[in-house]
Each structure stands twice: as C-alpha cells, then as structure tokens.
Amino acid sequence: MKIATFNINGVKARLPRLLEWLEEFSPDVACLQEIKSVDENFPRLEFEDKGWNVETHGQKGFNGVAIFSKHKIEDVRRGLPALDGGEETEDEQARYIEATVQGVRIASIYLPNGNPQPGPKFDYKLAWMDRLVAHAKRLLETEQPIVLAGDYNVIPKDEDCYNPAAWVDDALTQPESRAKLRELTYLGYLDALRQIKPAGPAFTFWDYQAGAWQKDNGIRIDHLMLSPQAADRLQDAQVDRTPRGKEKASDHTPVWIELA
C-alpha cells in the first residue's frame, strides 16, 4: 500500500498537475492539504471519473484537507476532537480529516503555520497541536496501523532546513513547536522518512521567491508519522521531487511511504 501526502496549494489552480501526478505515481491513498475549496465546489467528478474515492473537509479560499483512495474509504472523521475527546471545539479552520482504508487509519493534516510569533496565531498553533497529540494517543489505543500524514508546518531539526539562521525567529522552528512534534514520538509514533533516510537534507517545500527551488533552498515540513503497527509494515519512504519542478507547481512536493 502506497500512501502519499501532498500540500497542493489550491486544487483548482493545480488541477492538471494533480491529475497528472495521480496518474503517473498512482498511490493507493493520497492525503491532500490546502485544497482551498468548500466541499460542494470541490471538483470531485474530475477525480471520481478516474476511479478515485474522494472525501474532503474544506473551507472557502483557505486551508482544507482531503483523502483520495483507490479503495473504499470508511468511518470518516472531519475535525479534531476537543482535548478531552469530546466533540470538536469550535474551529472555523478545516485542517483535519481521518478515515480507514484497507484496515489502516489514515489522517490528512494541515497544521497551523503560527506566524507571526509570539502572538495569537502561534498560540492557536500550539493549542491545535495539543489536541492533535491527545487524539493521536487515543488512536493508539485502537491498536490499528495509524498514519498521520500531512503538512505539519514544523521543521523538526536544523538539518531539515537549508539555512537554520534564516528561520530562527519563524514559528516553524520554535522550541515549543518542535517539542510538541516530539510528543508524538514519545507516544510511539515514528517519522517514516527518517526511518529510511536517517540523516541529511530531504526537503519537501521550496518557496516561490528568490529562486529557492533552483538553489535547493528548501525545508522539510511534510511528514508521515506512523504508529508502531504501521511502522512494522514500513518498506520504503521517499520524497518525490518531480512535481515541484513542473510548470504551475505547488510549493510543496509529495512525500510517500510503502507499507507491506
């Protein structure tokens, strides 16, 4: 089973590129972020006509997440629950969708950016991460294979950034952001890409400005975090750089895993 995560930066702006990638790479499951479309306006027929099952959790003009699958998508959850596991707290931002595919529980996550920091946006990011960690802990209790895939907007370590000094004041590198991502690993989740490629650059995002792609001035913020049951089945994990080099590309590129 191949599972990929891809922040597409607008489904309508990226429609030809997305269809092309889905056809060429052919993942079993694709977790998308920043679809930037309300559910009723999402161009689902373009994908369903190609045989994809589609579930979305969108909002107008911003954010939004989706799960595409070649297989049946079951037991869909939209939005994170409250810290205590109750119903979702009032969250106007569509950033989380979760479902089961072929016995694997998969989430597509678009974590808040948090800039500028300090400030209310950074506070929102940290509070959102608290809810994610609490929910991830509850998911482990199911003993299902779990894949938490998405744009985490956290650069885990300095080696995940082309120039750490340039990002020292950014919300993506703050000690608080990194600490909350590590909380997932303390629960038992593993960073899939680092299981296969333990060290060195493995960038997943290059800004549109200042020739970042051409200079390979990238950062790694797109991650697939695996529960022990999913990590036991991990066969490969890679960054697919090809889509980023194409015309009208997203500023992110896909990251994928293969599970036995």
Distance CA 177, CA 169 (A): 12
> Buried b / exposed e across 112-132, counting CB within 10 Å, b at 16+?
bbbeebeeeebeebbebbebb
10: alpha, beta or left? (left if phi > 0; alpha if psi -120 to 50): left
Range of the domain at 80: 2-259
pLDDT of residue 88: 65
- Look at the chain and report how many structural domains it folds into: 1
Distance CA 205, CA 207 (A): 7
3-state SS, residue 243: helix
Question: 222 pLDDT exceeds 80?
Answer: yes
211-216 long-range contacts, Cβ below 8 Å, gap at least 24? 213/244, 213/245, 216/162
Distance CA 38, CA 256 (A): 26
Of 28, 151, 170, 191, the catalytic one is 151
pTM of the model: 0.97
Distance from the Cα of residue 71 to its chain's centroid: 20
pLDDT of residue 83: 85
Question: 90 pLDDT exceeds 70?
Answer: no
* pLDDT tens figures, 197-215: 999 999 999 999 989 999 9
Asked about 162 being catalytic, the answer comes back as no
Distance CA 63, CA 108 (A): 12
Chain position carrying tokens 């896909």: 254
Q: Which residues pair with 206 in a beta bridge?
A: 218
Of 49, 75, 84, 110, the catalytic one is 110
Q: For a pLDDT cut of 70, what percent of the chain falls above it? A: 99
* pLDDT tens figures, 163-188: 999 999 999 999 999 999 999 999 99
What is the domain-level CATH number for residue 171?
3.60.10.10
* pLDDT tens figures, 102-160: 999 999 999 999 999 999 999 999 999 999 999 999 999 999 999 999 999 999 999 99
DSSP string, 121-144: HHHHHHHHHHHHHHHHHHHHTTT-
| DSSP code of residue 94 | -
Question: 193 pLDDT exceeds 80?
Answer: yes
Asked about 96 being catalytic, the answer comes back as no
